[in-house]
Amino acid sequence: MRAVVYQGFAEPPSLVEVADPVPPAGGVVVRVEATGLCRSDWHGWQGHDSDISTFPHIPGHEFAGVIASVGAGVIGWQEGDRVTAPFVFACGACPECVAGDHQVCRRQQQPGFSLPGSFADYVVVTDAATNLVALPLAVDLDRRQPRLPLRHRVPSRRRPGTCRRR
């Protein structure tokens, strides 16, 4: 797939070919149809976040798209479903998650920080049961409407929300 990567903090990003991701057990691969650029991406690029520790690194954590492939054990989601996901990918099983506090999951991951991000053709979402959010039909992925943040349109407790970083 194509991906925007950088080889080190504050290095110029470049568009390269990398291996296609495969869906993990319980997770999915999303074909990215739209992705935002956030100040947190800039902080990550500048080296302000210790969650970024390996290179080349694919940034990007605010995205929407279509499920391209589904991992083992995923129930209720299938290829072609239109989805987004919160910035924090929660585990769904730790005490914080069981209490409904996914944003402070003790085993959380973030695309574009601890995981490869969405500045690519495809991005992995872990634990689909916890982290995927279905997009309403009113969100038109083909029109690429960036003016109204997705969080204002997604009628779910698991809204993407604002990025918590800065």
Note whether 52 binds Zn ion by CB under 5 A.
no
Q: Taking a C-beta distance cutoff of 8 angstroms, is the pair 55, 8 a contact?
A: yes
Binding to Zn ion in span 107-126, by CB under 5 A:
none
For residue 111, what are the β-bridge partners?
115
**Which one among 38, 123, 128, 132 touches Zn ion, defined by CB under 5 A?**
38
Note whether 163 binds Zn ion by CB under 5 A.
yes
The two structure tokens encoding residue 164: 């918590």
Number of residues in the chain: 166
Q: What angle do CA 29, 23, 30 make, to 5 degrees?
A: 0
Which window, 45-53, 99-107, 118-126, 133-141, contacts Zn ion (CB under 5 A)?
99-107
Rounded-to-integer distance, Cα 8 and Cα 115, Å: 16
Q: What angle do CA 32, 113, 58 make, to 5 degrees?
A: 50
Q: Taking a C-beta distance cutoff of 8 angstroms, is the pair 90, 131 a contact?
A: yes
Q: Which is nearer to Zn ion, 121 or 127 (CB)?
A: 127
- 80 burial (CB, 10 Å; 0-12 / 13-18 / 19+) is exposed
SS3 63: strand
Note whether 103 binds Zn ion by CB under 5 A.
no
Residue 82: CB minimum distance to Zn ion, A:
21
Q: Give the number of residues in contact with Zn ion, rule: CB under 5 A.
A: 8
Which window, 18-26, 95-103, 112-120, 147-155, contacts Zn ion (CB under 5 A)?
95-103
Residue 90: CB minimum distance to Zn ion, A:
5
Binding to Zn ion in span 55-94, by CB under 5 A:
90-91, 94
Looking up tokens 């495809």, which residue turns up?
Answer: 122
Q: Which is nearer to Zn ion, 79 or 166 (CB)?
A: 166
Binding to Zn ion in span 128-147, by CB under 5 A:
none
**Which one among 4, 85, 105, 125 touches Zn ion, defined by CB under 5 A?**
105
Binding site for Zn ion (CB under 5 A): 38, 40, 90-91, 94, 97, 105, 163
